[in-house]
Structure formats: C-alpha cells, structure tokens
C-alpha cells in the first residue's frame, strides 16, 4: 500500500480521548493511551466490562509475558463524559447502530472519530467515486451511521496487531503494534487532525503510518480475512488447518480472486496473489479467528461487514462472486441456526 511515515502534528494533541469498545484491540490501545499523563482517557463500557474496569482497570500481558495495568475513567453512559477530541471506535460492527444512537454527548464540532473496525465500515463506499452512488447497504441500511459520522468527521484506521480478551478488562497481546490511519476524503494536504491523532498514538508506542489512500489498506486487510474468518466459523478449525487442506485453500483462493477483481474496479488493487497471502497467514500458526471466537462465545457474527458488503460492492461494479456468495450463504445459515 502507498503510505508515508507519520510525523507529529504542529497542533495540540487530542487531550480528551474516549475508547468505545473495550475488547481486545480497544483494550490494547486504551491501556497504552491511559499511561500518557496528559491524555484524559475514558472508556465507555457496559456490563461486566464496566465493572471490571472500574474495579481493576485494564490488565495487559505483552508478547514477552510482562504484565502491567492501567486505570482509565470507565463510564456506563456517554452523558458522564461530555464532548471528546478523539473517539476510538473499536466495537463490533454489529453494535454500531446502537452506539451511534447514544453517542451524541461525546460529539462536538471538532470531534473526530477513528474507525478501527473489522471489514467494510459505513464510510468506505461513500468515500470512493465508484461506489458513492451505490454504497453497500448491509453496513449502514438506513444511512444513519453516515449521518452521525459524515466523512469530514472520520479518520479511517486499519489495525495490524493480534490480541485477545480472555475476560472483561484483560488483554493478551500476542504480537504486532501496527496501525494505519488516513483521511477517507484523501485530502491533500493531510488534515492536521489526522497528523495529531497519529502523533498521539505513536507516543503511546503504536507503530503508526499515515496513508494517502486508507481505502486500499482497508481492502487489503479485508481481502486477507474474507475467507479464513467465515471458514473457521463453519469448520471450527484454526487457520493453520484451513490452509493446510488443499481443497479448502483452493476454495479460499477462488473467493479471494473474486474480491481482488472487485477491488481493482473500485480503485483498491491487490498487489499479492492469494497464495502469497496464504503463506503470510500460515506463518502465524494455529490461531483462532475473531469470527470463530465470536461463534464460540455466542456473539453475533460480523458477516455483513466482512462478507456481505464484499458481495454488494462486487455486484455494484459488475463482478460475479459465486464463491463469496456460497461462503456468505453457508455462514449466514450457521449463524441463524445458532440463534
């Protein structure tokens, strides 16, 4: 992906920062931000996560086994916080509609929202000329998310880190601290708010890159997750077993080629072959995907953002996707059968 290294913004860094979604990634980033003395880090959480954060804060174990904690302000309602400079959205895509409905008290005229979601986010289609007239409705059926967070409010983000949340407030960091962010409007020069967010996150120890075309970075990551995530839910298999089966691997490759063709037509070309991507994923070993973890925990699956939106985008630009269609149908039926 065409990227340029982040550099500190001449503007003041965001001082009031809220994390919305205190799971694995939200916890990893939030715990690091909470250790910055001049950052007023707050977390909007609910249920067991809220109680755990109030009692013990974040408890993080790094890849070397070192453990440390951080105690952000944890609230159960945005009414308790007021307007923020920067909001980190790290929730599941399935929770976005409820979040958008209630998040108003955190928003002010200057507030920016850093979207760190799996799959296709609400702002993706409207930000691309090829899709502006027909954005995928599966991720924003009524256009409510775009109304709440229009493009000028959004900073797009792609996470390249592996973490798990074994229990509320507990974060197991397995590796990687990469974070790519960018203005979905592809503004030139780069919006100072993007540079300020990048500087804040870099100071917290994240390996931040500012991208001139965040849509390409997002599509590339989605292209790698499109198949292994739902196939793992269907088979209950870890990624290594999926890729070690030649028939399953060939099916994944065929679906990825469909997505790559769609990407080329929307201005997000893929510069790897499926086989090259499989080799990268295989080196990560026997990991359980986020969708498999959601299935086992009885949580909703992010099928709309990871699979259905790809089908919609491909259809909008005239790309047939029989393999992606089959994958969506099978996994949708699995989700329905599991309630």
Cβ–Cβ < 8 Å for 286, 296: no
> In a 3-state reduction of DSSP, which class is residue 157?
strand
Selection from 81, 66, 70, 63 nearest residue 27 by Cα: 70
Q: Which residues contact 332 (CB under 8 A, 6 or more apart)?
A: 303
Residue of 174, 185, 221, 332 marked catalytic: 221
Q: Which residues contact 235 (CB under 8 A, 6 or more apart)?
A: 241, 242, 248
First to last CA, the chain: 39
Q: Which residues contact 133 (CB under 8 A, 6 or more apart)?
A: none
92 catalytic? Reply is no
Selection from 261, 260, 256 nearest residue 242 by Cα: 256
Q: What is the DSSP letter of 160?
A: E
Hey, which bits of the chain come out as E strands? 3-5, 16-20, 40-44, 58-61, 67-70, 73-75, 86-89, 112-115, 154-164, 170-182, 207-211
Q: Which residues are catalytic?
A: 221
């Amino acid at each position: 992906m065409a990227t340029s290294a982040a550099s500190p913004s001449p503007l003041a860094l965001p001082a009031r920062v809220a994390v919305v979604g205190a799971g694995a990634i939200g916890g990893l980033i939030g715990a690091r931000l909470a250790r910055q003395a001049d950052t007023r880090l707050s977390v909007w959480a609910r249920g067991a996560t809220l109680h755990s954060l109030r009692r013990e804060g974040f408890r993080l174990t790094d890849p070397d086994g070192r453990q440390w904690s951080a105690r952000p302000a944890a609230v159960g309602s945005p009414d308790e916080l007021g307007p923020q400079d920067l909001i980190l959205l790290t929730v599941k895509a399935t929770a976005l509609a409820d979040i958008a409905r209630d998040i108003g008290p955190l928003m002010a005229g200057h507030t920016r929202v850093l979207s760190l979601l799996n799959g296709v986010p609400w702002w993706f289609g409207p930000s691309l000329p090829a899709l502006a007239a027909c954005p995928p409705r599966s991720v924003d059926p009524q256009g409510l998310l775009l109304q709440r967070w229009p493009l000028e409010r959004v900073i797009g983000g792609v996470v390249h880190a592996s973490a798990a949340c074994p229990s509320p407030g507990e974060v197991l960091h397995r590796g990687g601290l990469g974070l790519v962010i960018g203005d979905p409007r592809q503004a030139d020069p780069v919006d100072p708010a993007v540079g300020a967010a990048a500087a804040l996150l870099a100071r917290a120890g994240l390996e931040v890159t500012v991208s001139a075309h965040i849509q390409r970075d997002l599509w590339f990551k989605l292209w790698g997750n499109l198949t292994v995530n739902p196939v793992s839910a269907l088979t209950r298999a870890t990624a290594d077993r999926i890729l070690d089966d030649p028939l399953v691997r060939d099916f994944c490759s065929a679906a990825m080629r469909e997505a790559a063709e769609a990407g080329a037509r929307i201005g997000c070309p893929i510069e790897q072959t499926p086989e090259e991507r499989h080799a990268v994923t295989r080196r990560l070993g026997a990991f359980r995907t986020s969708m498999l973890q959601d299935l086992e925990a009885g949580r909703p699956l992010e099928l709309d953002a990871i699979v259905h939106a790809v089908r919609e985008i491909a259809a909008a630009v005239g790309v047939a996707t029989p393999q992606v269609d089959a994958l969506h149908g099978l996994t949708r039926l699995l989700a329905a059968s599991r309630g």
